[in-house]
Structure 1
Amino acid sequence: MERKKIYNPSSDENLNDRRVFNGNPHGILNFTKAKYTWALNLWDMMEANTWFPKEVDTTKDVIDYNKSLTDPEKRMYDLVWSQLISMDSFQTNNLADNINPYITAPEINALLARQAYEEANHSKSYAVMAEAICDNTDLIYEMEKHDEVLRRKNDYISSVYEELAGDVTDEKLLLAMFANQILEGIYFYSGFTAIYALARAGRMLGSAQMIRFIQRDEITHLLLFQNMINSTRKERPDLFTDELKAKVFKMFEEAGKLEIEWGQYITQNQIMGFTDDIIEEYIHFLIDERLSAVGYEKMYNANHPIKWVEDFSKFNEQKTNFFEGNVANYSKGSLSFDDF
């Protein structure tokens, strides 16, 4: 597969001919004419969700970090930011270098560009949090040089991306979509939930508020790749073979093991409401949800073991006095999977 041309005036592709990939695009982005209406809806949602790290007040978090967190909780907090920094750094480059050059639907190109911006904005938010709160900012950004488990997780994630790049084929690009679904829908969640567990105890509320912003973005990113996969399933059913399914399930299985190991490693069974067993069942539940969203059967039939997490990730349904500051009363941010 070759990278698409940026400008192709000789193209005679119409809307019916448009494809997620392997199309023949003109190169002009026209928001008034789009084949994938879900992409326009998702663009509007992402645009409405625009936020900036400076909107979050971290003043009390500095006090909590220094006076309220135990040593295991501080360790967990630092490791969470280190891993989130790694993943959003990977994704900012991956979207621009490995995915978007091969996607031939302009409305999806726009979404991927928007996502890349949001990933960079997340990196800015991590910088704000690490600089304001953590004892050693340089260590946060270089943790993989000192922590073997973090390095192993980063090595695996980056190796999957590198393997699916190289000489791109139809199957490789489709598998890359699944890899991105996994990153957006599995790999972030131990870190998110760890921060919510602290907030549930009334600490690090600014950090949890920042995570709510970030998670809301990541859900739209997850929807983007799930819709890309489902649109490809309609256009190229020939790609969805038993062999592909086996590869996809293997990817999810390996990702689940890695995320469970990471969640149990950062918490060390010492965080209230977030035990080793809960982490395992939660990740299995997420895997089942992600597979169902793209037309596959569940692997584990797991139940949601920590439904209180959902209350921490919502905006409009949040109690107005839960988080101090203007964010608690945001009117934007509702997100319904039913719209997609």
Structure 2
Amino acid sequence: MSDQLLTRSIMDAKAPNRSTGIINGKSSNVLNWDDVRFSWAYPKYKKMLANFWSPFEINMAQDIKQFPELSSKEQDTFLKIIGLLSLLDSIQTDYAGKVADYLTDSSLNALMIMLAQQEVVHNHSYSYVLSSLVSRSKQEEVFEYWRTEPILRKRNDFITDGYRDFAENPTVENLLHSIVYDVILEGLFFYSGFAFFYHLARNQKMVASSTMINYINRDEQIHVDLFVKIFQEILTEYPEYQTDELSKFVESSFTQAAMMEIDWARHVIGNEFVGIDLEDVEAYIKFYANVRCHQLGFNRPFEGYRTNPLKWIKAYEEVDLGKSDFFEQKSRQYTKVNVVDNGFDEL
């Protein structure tokens, strides 16, 4: 199968406002939220809009005090995970834009643009955290980790090669495959890193940084749900792509990805931190691989692993993610700090 994807027209006066298909259809490209093809698009839009946040909302003063007090291993792990996240969220911005080009439906194009904007905010947040905590030279070093860490390079190539196939040869099949890689990136590859930040917050360390990570985690959950919807709609309109080969691809990709995430967790977390059991982290990764694969509509790749083994992490993943400080369980006292001083005047 090699159905090539057609780019969405800037304007098509002969087409209806309501798109005739999710891809390779017809649409004027005029967006009327009361006349869109997919009923779930507007609720997604409202949810993404309600979740708007900015790194400037987070006062880093307490984290600035605490970072030098972390152990050298905690500092190293903190910075390496930030280095990982910065690379992955950087390519997400570009990927979302490329997908948007081929979505006929103007409402889904709008959601992709919002998603890309959120990825820009995520990437900015890593710079914001680093500029608060370390020197400029160290910040630059962290943003180069993706080149120098072999385990990171292997994981990153796994995703970027899949994205590149779609970018260079935009077919229906390659789009579907790229969405699988996206769900792996946003719904699995971040998760051992998230667990480390939540572990710090659980011990009242680096709470501001962990709050920011939780906002990112919340956004990524929405992004995964959005891409899963797009994936399912494509298969509804193109059922001929719902094949045994696709099932094998999805399940094997998640198996491979989970093992890479486990290797990364062993490397960056190891058995160094009291309160984080590496076996539980590995089970947590397999649990999420099962969740995401099943979410896409395929068999779970790992037998068992139906429940989250990190019971304590639910306090950070399943809270009401409004404007409250869920780590300290009190009304959030963070203020919008000056971009230049970033809280330094409160030391």
TM over 0.5: yes
The more displaced of 242-251 and 111-120 is: 242-251
The more displaced of 135-144 and 268-277 is: 268-277
- Percent of paired sites with the same residue: 28
Q: What letter is aligned with 2:253?
A: M
Q: Secondary structure at the match of 1:37?
A: coil
Do the aligned residues in 2 keep the contact of 1:92 with 1:116 (CA within 8 Å)? yes
1:179-230 CA-partner distances (Å, limit 9, x unpaired) = 2111111111111111111111110101110011111111110110111122
**Are positions 1:306 and 2:275 aligned together?**
no
The CA distance in 2 between the partners of 1:327 and 1:71, in whole Å, is 27
Q: Secondary structure at the match of 1:27?
A: coil
**Are positions 1:131 and 2:123 aligned together?**
no
The CA distance in 1 between the partners of 2:50 and 2:331, in whole Å, is 22
- Return closer, same or farther for 1:180/1:320 CA change in 2, 3 Å cut-off: closer
CA deviation after TM superposition for structure 1 residue 319, in Å: 5.3
Q: What aligned pairs does 1:9-158 form with structure 2 within 5 A after superposition?
A: 9-11=13-15, 13=16, 15=18, 18-67=20-69, 69-97=70-98, 99-135=99-135, 136-158=138-160
CA deviation after TM superposition for structure 1 residue 10, in Å: 2.2
Q: What aligned pairs does 1:272-287 form with structure 2 within 5 A after superposition?
A: 272-287=274-289
Do the aligned residues in 1 keep the contact of 2:202 with 2:327 (CA within 8 Å)? no
Do the aligned residues in 2 keep the contact of 1:20 with 1:104 (CA within 8 Å)? yes
Q: What TM-score, normalized to structure 2? A: 0.88
Q: Which runs of 4+ in 1 moved over 6 A?
A: none
The CA distance in 1 between the partners of 2:238 and 2:334, in whole Å, is 43
Q: What aligned pairs does 1:185-334 form with structure 2 within 5 A after superposition?
A: 185-300=187-302, 301-302=304-305, 303-313=307-317, 314=319, 315=321, 321-322=328-329, 325-326=332-333
Q: Which runs of 5+ in 2 are unaligned?
A: 336-347
The CA distance in 2 between the partners of 1:249 and 1:320, in whole Å, is 35
Do the aligned residues in 2 keep the contact of 1:186 with 1:283 (CA within 8 Å)? yes
The CA distance in 1 between the partners of 2:334 and 2:59, in whole Å, is 10
The more displaced of 191-200 and 293-302 is: 293-302
CA deviation after TM superposition for structure 1 residue 276, in Å: 2.4
Q: What letter is aligned with 1:119?
A: E
Q: What letter is aligned with 1:117?
A: Q
Q: Which runs of 5+ in 1 are unaligned?
A: 329-340
Do the aligned residues in 1 keep the contact of 2:250 with 2:298 (CA within 8 Å)? no
1:148-191 CA-partner distances (Å, limit 9, x unpaired) = 22222222221121123212111111111222111111111111
Do the aligned residues in 2 keep the contact of 1:311 with 1:318 (CA within 8 Å)? no
The count of aligned residue pairs is 324
Report the equivalent of 2:341. Answer: none
1:21-48 CA-partner distances (Å, limit 9, x unpaired) = 1212212111121121111101000101
Q: What TM-score, normalized to structure 1? A: 0.90
